[in-house]
Structure 1
Amino acid sequence: MSSAPAGTAAGMPLGSAPAPLLRRILQQGRYETVTMLRNGEQLILAVILPLLALVGLAATPLLDGLGSSRVNIAVPGILALCAMSTAFTGQGIATGFDRRYGVLRFLSTTPLGRTGLILGKVIAVLVVLLLQVLVVTAVALPLGWQPAPAGLLPGFALLVLGAAAFTALGLLVAGTVRPEATLAITNLLWILLGALGGIVIPAERLPALAQAVVHFLPSGALGQALRDAFLHGSSNTASVIVLLLWTATAGFAATRWFKWN
């Protein structure tokens, strides 16, 4: 049996340095992004269903009387739904099954490390979210979407904040329960929050009981904050505070209780 040459380990030079941390993180982010985009079920959840909801809301009178046009009211909620689909449901399910098959445990022991792994997932969420924004915009503009110019930059910043909150929540679920439970919880919450969480349908059109709580949910806070930004060019401070609290609380909980195996 032959052995590796002297001064080498497994055919690699001893003491060879790993790639720089930033390069490792970017490579992991690229891998996570490609994996998400190749997953047909995630694409349906992240792109197809939000687009169907957008067309449906623009074609029906459900949002009449809430603003200048149906599509202007619908688009902010659809963008918020995209953030929840990718950051919470998609990333939560992917992370849960990576944990089950030992991928997380393996990668956390490589030079990438746990921090690099998490940052790679964050990059993937942001890249996919950007693609979602471009697709939704390409469909919404011909339908007559006219966002307030002053609200564009704040709106997209809020979208990133909302993605951070939902990513933290997705990692919390994925890191604390079994993958099958993660699949059930994230899909169920996607349906409930999408329908009754104030993310697509404004609170004014929800049942009285839902109106009392949606503003304290990340879905309701993100949906309302985006509507205020894109419709009126204004900032909803209360919604921003709610999103920051959810991000900090879920992030701390995920860091504290996340199980890597």
Structure 2
Amino acid sequence: MTTDTTGTTGPGVFRPAPGAAPLSRMILAQTALETRMLLRNGEQLLLTVIIPTLLLVLFSTVDIVDFGADGASVDFLAPGVLALAVLSTAFTGQAIATGFERRYGVLKRLGASPLPRWALMTAKTGSVLVVEALQIALLAVVAVALGWSPEGLGSPGGALSVVLLLALGTAAFCGLGLLMAGTLKAEATLAAANLVFLLLLVGGGVVVPLDKFPEAAQGVLSLLPITALSEGLRGVLQGAGPVPWRELAVLTAWSVLGLSAAARFFKWE
């Protein structure tokens, strides 16, 4: 093969054309890479898949918490565990992974690549959505096998409300996770993210009904994003009422707050 320095082209002529791939292709490639990394991480799978599934099976089959009427355990637990799955992936897993990528200079190097930084965050969010879809599918199958009947999905309004709740919950937890990962040291992020996960698991209406807490604390707990997500999903999926406007408003507020703070304070190195 020959090289023509005159700028002409033809058979046997090699003319380099350096340049970045189309932005959409770069985002898709990075999303696929982020998803593979998440699925290959044993610790992340324990947090995002095994723990929610075990909680769903254990609390549905063993009389640990009084959920009210007989047979109501899985109906109460399934929406809460779905909310926990969003929390584990969008917040805890995202915060820990991004925190250590920041510590080891991965984000700094990716930030210097042709992939824009906003596109990198888009790819990370895309990988979170892929993993959440797998989580929700698995947990829904397990819950149905345990006797769950999501009556609220029978109407278009119910299905749309579920999608909105999950989307806003993902946005809120992604923002908070990136804020933590972009401002704290990796070790502090690891400890804080796991501590928050445990606290929200207990106090966020996931496996323990809010009415089990003191009345003075119920008002504060209802403003947490995990509580708004779990209670909103529970109300819709049980067919208990109309669109959960209050829970959607709480999640919207957390989404704006978390994403705005992450964009303002996130440090890439």
Q: Give TM-score, length-normalised by structure 2.
A: 0.88
CA-based RMSD of the aligned residues comes to 2.0
| Residue of structure 2 in register with 1:185 after alignment | 192
Aligned with 2:256 (options 248, 251, 256) = 248
Other structure's SS at 1:175 match: helix
**Equivalent residue for 2:75?**
72
Counterpart of 1:161 in structure 2: which amino acid? L
CA-CA distance at 1:199 after TM superposition: 3.2
Superposed CA offset, 1:185-242 (max 9, x none): 1000000000112233231123445313111111111111111111126321111111
Among candidates 21, 25, 28, match of residue 27 of structure 2: 25
- Going from structure 1 to structure 2, the CA distance change for 1:23 and 1:56 (only over 3 Å counts) comes to same
**CA–CA distance in structure 1, aligned partners of residues 58 and 228 of structure 2:** 23
Q: Which residue is equivalent to 1:41?
A: 43
Asked if the contact 1:176/1:258 (under 8 Å) is kept, the reply is yes
Q: Displacement, 1:252?
A: 0.6
1:128 matched residue in structure 2? 131
Query: Given the alignment of the two structures, is residue 230 of structure 1 paired with residue 232 of structure 2, yes or no?
Result: no
Q: CA deviation at 1:66?
A: 6.5
Q: How does 1:88-237 map to 2 (within 5 A)?
A: 88-148=91-151, 149-150=154-155, 151-232=158-239, 234-237=242-245
Aligned residues of 2:179 and 2:266 also touching (Cα < 8 A): yes
Assess, with a 3 A threshold, how the Cα gap between structure 1 residues 153 and 63 changes in structure 2: closer, same or farther. Answer: farther
* CA distances 1:158-194 after superposition (whole Å, capped 9, x unpaired): 1121111101100000000100000001000000000
Cα distance change of structure 1 residues 200 and 235 upon mapping to structure 2, 3 Å threshold: farther
Structure 1 moving runs of 4+ over 6 Å: none
- Larger radius of gyration, structure 1 or 2? 2
Q: Would the aligned equivalents of 1:229 and 1:235 in 2 still touch at CA under 8 Å?
A: yes
Provide structure 2 residue ranges, at least 5 long, that are not aligned to the other structure: 7-13
CA distance in 2, matches of 1:237, 1:82: 22
The one-letter amino acid of 1:38's match is R
Asked if structure 1 preserves the Cα contact closer than 8 Å seen for 2:77 and 2:206, the reply is no
Tell me how far apart the structure 1 counterparts of residues 85 and 70 of structure 2 sit (CA, whole Å).
Answer: 22
- Give the superposition deviation at 1:6: 8.1
**Structure 1 vs Structure 2: percent identity of aligned residues?**
45
Matched residues in 2 for 1:175 and 1:162: separation? 20
